Amino acid sequence: MEAFLISTGIVALAEMGDKTQLLALVLAARFRKPWPIVWGILAATVANHALAGSLGAWLTHLINPTYLRWGLGVSFLAMAAWMLVPDKLDDDDTAITPKFGVFGTTLVAFFLAEMGDKTQIATVMLAAEYHAWLWVVAGTTLGMMLANAPVVWFGERITRLIPLTWVHRISAVVFVVLGVLVLLA
């Protein structure tokens, strides 16, 4: 259960102000059909994070536990630094063609936007740390949905309530604490 709760919290925080959250806002403004967008985000996240979690689980079989622990600790610290650099939506992400419909467009756009993203890398690290693929993938998926679904329904009103610089700072502190705990374990 710890893997699920920590994965949920880390990804929900890491997703605030992330490129995929901005993408959710753009899709909601463009299509004005929240349910297909939310279902597309869910499907893309499950697929992407299942692959990332599998990579993390696979790495635990290849790398010596001591090296893996150090790598994870340093990765968490690097994630803390990365959290302090807010994402911007690339021009390529806004040039979405609706030939796949709202659901298909959201699915493809989110899956591709998550490749190499903070939350995908966090999923790899968490799966390697906890050795609990299902709980990590479920937690990171829930974290993504907690951060993105409200944006689809409530849009800019939510982003004005929470200062993103503070969310990024708090997220960075969480990653520093996790990195230190992993390194000291």
- At residue 88, the 3 state secondary structure works out as coil
Looking at residue 50, its pLDDT comes to: 97
- At residue 90, the 3 state secondary structure works out as coil
Looking at residue 94, its pLDDT comes to: 45
Ordered per-residue pLDDT tens for the chain, 185 residues: 999 999 999 899 888 877 788 788 888 877 888 999 999 999 999 999 999 999 989 988 888 878 877 887 887 788 778 767 765 555 454 455 557 789 999 999 899 888 888 888 889 989 988 999 999 999 999 999 999 999 898 875 665 666 667 766 776 787 788 788 878 87
Whether the CB-CB separation of 49 and 112 falls below 8 Å is answered with: no
| Residues contacting residue 62 through CB under 8 Å, at least 6 positions apart | none
Going 127 to 133 to 139 to 144, the CA torsion angle's sign is positive
Type of residue numbered 165: T
Residues making up the chain, counted from first to last: 185
Looking at residue 156, its pLDDT comes to: 58
Domain that holds residue 34: 2-184
Domain count, the chain: 1
